[in-house]
């Protein structure tokens, strides 16, 4: 399957909207240069197109195989995983201490777009490994870090995150997996997890599960009592060599609509009371720690929406330019096809700006030397995360629908790539917290960040943009319409806050998703308008 991306749009956002040279002013990235960023992106795109994209269609047809004991990933994944790791891509955005590459997230975001657009199913494996390793790196003891992290970034061992149980999906607090303290400081893990991506496979010699469990006696039926554990599939000796199997059993794999190359496993821990886990960081801090990974994973879900939407649009566009129908015209010449392509283009470019700029806010929020600036940008990243996740995945799906429509009947046929894109992208609205959960997150947590100050500052930034450019001749009308939309988001937010303030949650919760969509539409409108202003100046 061929993968194409509008590299000009990618560069336009990085160079003219984000001004990625600002990243070089941050001490964390002082060893980089713009030429290096460009080279990284060139190489990543080349790797995506030449190595990752060719296995996308075949892995979808083949899927994962489970023989009752072990899971086999599709043909080619093992070799690709090693190559991907050798090129340093697994830990591209994490510190160099344990083998990461220390790139800014702003550069890793487009890289991820290229990779996921080429095969989102394959990317689940390195994505989960990176997330799990980074959790250990951030929160675990030196001993655990030294044993696990480097081997995960280098591709020797894989990683997963184990949250979901049959009765505990959106309500993670209901998990039943327990961790019984042992005399030597380790824990015995017992319980079952479902929907574990990369839960078992043959890409690496070991798999490191990060499992949420409750230590008996800690608060029940609440996320407050949950702790986080490192649970290796095969035990690791003190010197880092592999020991005995660790009583982790793969029960089954799911048969799914899409991302068929990604192994989604049901795992049983401690069938024989012999599954050892190690506490990560503090007891009962599990949920808080897991949120580091979840927040990143949510942005990556939005990125998946963008990446597949981008791939689907490019594919539909290429098809429309060569498919001849009626009066000897290519279909791109017909107005209704142009309409569909324009909607796809606007959505993809808008999502791209949203995702890249959120990554930029993340970098600034993490690495800016000025604490006040860090707080300012971190707030923006937090505010936009549920929008990236939810709007990115939903609109990504809608784009694949329009891409299919552009193809006509051929789009429905598996000889052409869009039907796979459509199936593959659907999952992004479901996992990592359903999109409904994202809407509640925006409404319940994000609007009230720092007492509503974050959303106010964000509004102010956009409002200042409108004021500064309202006399731009070609955008005058658009900006005045946009201003109305912006203000109606602000008013809606205010009235929701007022309602919840007096204890009326029903209406805001009923409208949460609509509100998220409305807000996201305005945010994307802002980024696209800003692009228009920049383009007009050049």
Partner 1 sequence: MKIAVLLKQVPDTETKIRVKGDASGIESDGIKYIISPYDEFAIEEAIKTKEKSAPSEVIAVSLGPVRVVDAIRTALAMGADKGIHIDDCGLAMDSFVTAKVLANALKNENFDLIFTGKQAIDDDASQVSQMVAEFLNVPQLMLAEKFELGADKKSATIERSVGGGTKEVYTVEFPAVIGAEKGLNTPRYASLPGIMKAKTKPVTTLKASDLVGETKPKTTNVNFRLPPERAAGKVLQGEPEQLAQQLVKLLREEAKVI
Label residue 336 exposed, middle or buried (CB < 10 Å: 0-12, 13-18, 19+): exposed
* Closest to 402 (Cα-Cα) out of 333, 522, 310, 301: 310
Q: Which is nearer to partner 1, 40 or 384 (CB)?
A: 40
Query: DSSP 3-state assignment of 242?
Result: strand
Applying CB under 8 A, among 21, 25, 30, 46 the residue interacting with partner 1 is: 46
Helices (H), 371-434: 371-407, 418-426
For partner 1, which residue of 39, 318, 468, 534 counts as binding (CB under 8 A)?
39
Residue 35 binds partner 1 (CB under 8 A): yes
Should residue 184 be labelled a site residue for partner 1 when binding is judged by CB under 8 A? no
Nearer to partner 1, 53 or 163 (CB): 53
Looking at residues 2 to 21 of the shown chain, list those that interact with partner 1 (rule: CB under 8 A).
Answer: 7
Q: Residue 39 class from Cβ within 10 Å (0-12 exposed, 13-18 middle, 19+ buried)?
A: exposed
Nearer to partner 1, 7 or 19 (CB): 7
Shortest approach of partner 1 to residue 92 CB, angstroms?
Answer: 6
Specify the stretch interacting with partner 1 by CB under 8 A; choose among 29-37, 189-197, 202-210, 492-500.
29-37
Closer to partner 1 by CB, 37 or 397: give it: 37
**Smaller CB distance to partner 1: residue 91 or 131?**
91
* Per CB under 8 A, 92 contacts partner 1: yes
Name the segment binding partner 1 (CB under 8 A); options: 28-36, 129-137, 185-193, 314-322. Answer: 28-36
Instruction: Report the distance separating Cα 208 and Cα 332, nearest Å.
Output: 49
Among 24, 26, 28, 36, interactor with partner 1 by CB under 8 A:
36
Residue of the chain from 6, 28, 88, 459 that contacts partner 1 (CB under 8 A): 88
Span from 20-28, 42-50, 449-457, 483-491 in contact with partner 1 (CB under 8 A) = 42-50
Chosen residue from 5, 40, 427, 523 binding partner 1 by CB under 8 A: 40
Pair 139, 131: CB distance under 8 Å:
no
Nearer to partner 1 by C-beta: 99 or 525?
Answer: 99
CB of 78 to partner 1, least distance (A): 18
Nearer to partner 1, 40 or 359 (CB): 40
Within positions 58 to 87, which residues make up the interface with partner 1, using CB under 8 A?
Answer: 86-87
Complex with partner 1: residue 68 or 328, whichever CB lies closer? 328
Picking from 337, 397, 388, the residue whose alpha carbon sits closest to that of residue 359 is 388
* Token reading at 177: 């997996």
Indicate the pairing of strand 226-232 with strand 234-236: unpaired
Q: Which stretch in 27-35, 183-191, 196-204, 258-266 sits in contact with partner 1 by CB under 8 A? A: 27-35
Is 142 near partner 1 (CB under 8 A)?
Answer: no
- As a whole number of angstroms, the distance between CA 14 and CA 25 comes to 15
Both structure tokens of 155: 């591709």
Rounded Cα distance, 170 and 434, in Å: 7
Closest CA to 144 of 89, 92, 210, 85: 210
Residue 42 or 271 with smaller CB distance to partner 1: 42
CA distances from 87 to 13, 153, 172 (A): 25, 11, 36
CB of 44 to partner 1, least distance (A): 9
Q: How far is the CB of 518 from partner 1 (least distance, A)?
A: 38
Of the listed pieces 30-38, 165-173, 234-242, 525-533, which binds partner 1 according to CB under 8 A? 30-38
Neighbours of 7 (CB within 10 A): 13
Please check whether residue 264 is in contact with residue 254, taking contact to mean a CB–CB distance below 8 angstroms: yes
Q: x/- string (CB under 8 A) for partner 1, residues 97-126?
A: ----x-x-----------------------
Member of 185, 326, 328, 503 binding partner 1 (CB under 8 A): 328
Q: State whether residue 206 is helix, strand or coil.
A: strand
Among 205, 296, 432, 481, the one annotated catalytic = 432
Terminal Cα distance for the chain, rounded: 36
Distance of CA 426 to the CA centre of its chain: 13
89 touches partner 1 by CB under 8 A: yes
What's the burial of 31, exposed, middle or buried (CB within 10 Å: 0-12/13-18/19+)?
exposed
Q: Which is nearer to partner 1, 36 or 343 (CB)?
A: 36
CA trace torsion 47, 53, 56, 57 (10° rounding): -160
Interface with partner 1 by CB under 8 A: which range of 39-47, 271-279, 282-290, 521-529? 39-47
d(CA 113, CA 123): 10
Q: Up-side HSE of residue 47: CA atoms within 13 Å toward CB?
A: 23
DSSP states along 320-345: HHH-B-STT-BGGGSHHHHHHHHHHH
Minimum Å gap between C-beta 335 and partner 1 is 22
Give the phi and the psi of residue 157 in degrees, each rounded to 5: -120, 150
Q: Could you tell me which stretch among 40-48, 133-141, 432-440, 506-514 binds partner 1 (CB under 8 A)?
A: 40-48
Active site residue 432: yes
The residues that touch partner 1, with contacts defined as CB under 8 A, are: 7, 31, 33, 35-36, 38-40, 42-43, 46-47, 86-89, 92, 101, 103, 328
The residues assigned a catalytic role are: 432
């Amino acid at each position: 399957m061929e993968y194409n991306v509008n590299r000009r749009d990618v560069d336009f956002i990085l160079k003219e909207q984000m001004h990625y040279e600002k990243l070089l002013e941050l001490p964390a990235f002082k060893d980089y240069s713009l030429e290096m960023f460009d080279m990284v992106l060139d190489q990543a795109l080349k790797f995506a197109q030449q190595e990752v994209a060719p296995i996308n269609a075949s892995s979808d047809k083949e899927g994962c195989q489970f023989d009752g004991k072990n899971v086999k990933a599709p043909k080619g994944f093992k070799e690709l995983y090693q190559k991907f790791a050798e090129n340093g891509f697994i830990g591209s955005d994490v510190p160099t201490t344990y083998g990461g590459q220390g790139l800014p997230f702003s550069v890793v975001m487009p890289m991820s777009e290229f990779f996921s657009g080429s095969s989102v199913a394959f990317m689940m494996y390195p994505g989960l490994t990176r997330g799990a390793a980074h959790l250990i790196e951030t929160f675990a003891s030196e001993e655990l870090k030294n044993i696990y992290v480097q081997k995960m970034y280098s591709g020797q061992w894989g990683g997963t995150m184990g949250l979901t149980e049959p009765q505990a999906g959106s309500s993670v607090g209901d998990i039943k997996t327990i961790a019984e303290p042992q005399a030597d400081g380790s824990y015995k893990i017992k319980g079952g997890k479902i929907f574990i991506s990369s839960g078992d496979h043959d890409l690496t010699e070991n798999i490191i599960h990060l499992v949420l469990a409750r230590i008996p006696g800690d608060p029940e039926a609440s996320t407050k009592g949950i702790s986080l554990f490192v649970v290796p599939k095969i035990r690791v000796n003190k010197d880092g060599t592999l020991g005995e199997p660790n009583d982790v059993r793969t029960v089954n794999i799911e048969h799914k609509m899409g991302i068929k190359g990604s192994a989604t496993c049901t795992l049983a821990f401690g069938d024989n009371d012999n599954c050892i886990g190690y506490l990560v960081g503090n007891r009962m801090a599990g949920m808080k720690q897991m949120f580091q990974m979840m927040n990143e994973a949510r942005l990556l879900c939005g990125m998946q929406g963008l990446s597949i939407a981008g791939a689907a649009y490019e594919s539909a566009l290429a098809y429309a330019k060569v498919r001849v129908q009626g009066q000897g015209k290519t279909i791109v010449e017909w107005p209704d096809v142009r309409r569909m392509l324009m909607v796809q283009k606007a959505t993809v470019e808008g999502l791209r700006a949203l995702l890249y700029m959120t990554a930029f806010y993340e970098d600034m929020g993490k690495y800016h030397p000025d604490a006040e600036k860090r707080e300012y940008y971190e707030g923006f990243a937090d505010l936009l995360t549920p929008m990236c996740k939810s709007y990115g995945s939903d609109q990504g799906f809608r784009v694949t629908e329009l891409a299919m429509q552009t193809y006509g009947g051929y789009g429905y046929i598996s000889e052409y790539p869009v039907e796979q894109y459509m199936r593959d992208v659907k999952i992004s609205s479901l996992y990592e917290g359903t999109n409904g959960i994202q809407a509640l997150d925006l409404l319940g947590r994000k609007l009230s960040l720092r007492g509503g100050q974050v959303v106010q500052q964000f509004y102010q930034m956009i409002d200042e943009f409108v004021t500064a450019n309202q006399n731009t001749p070609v955008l005058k009308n658009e900006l005045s319409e946009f201003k109305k939309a912006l203000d109606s988001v602000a008013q809606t937010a205010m009235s929701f806050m007022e309602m919840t303030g007096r204890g009326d949650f029903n209406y805001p919760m009923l409208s949460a998703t609509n509100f998220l969509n409305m807000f996201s539409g305005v945010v994307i409108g802002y980024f696209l308008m800003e692009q228009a202003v920049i383009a007009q100046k050049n």
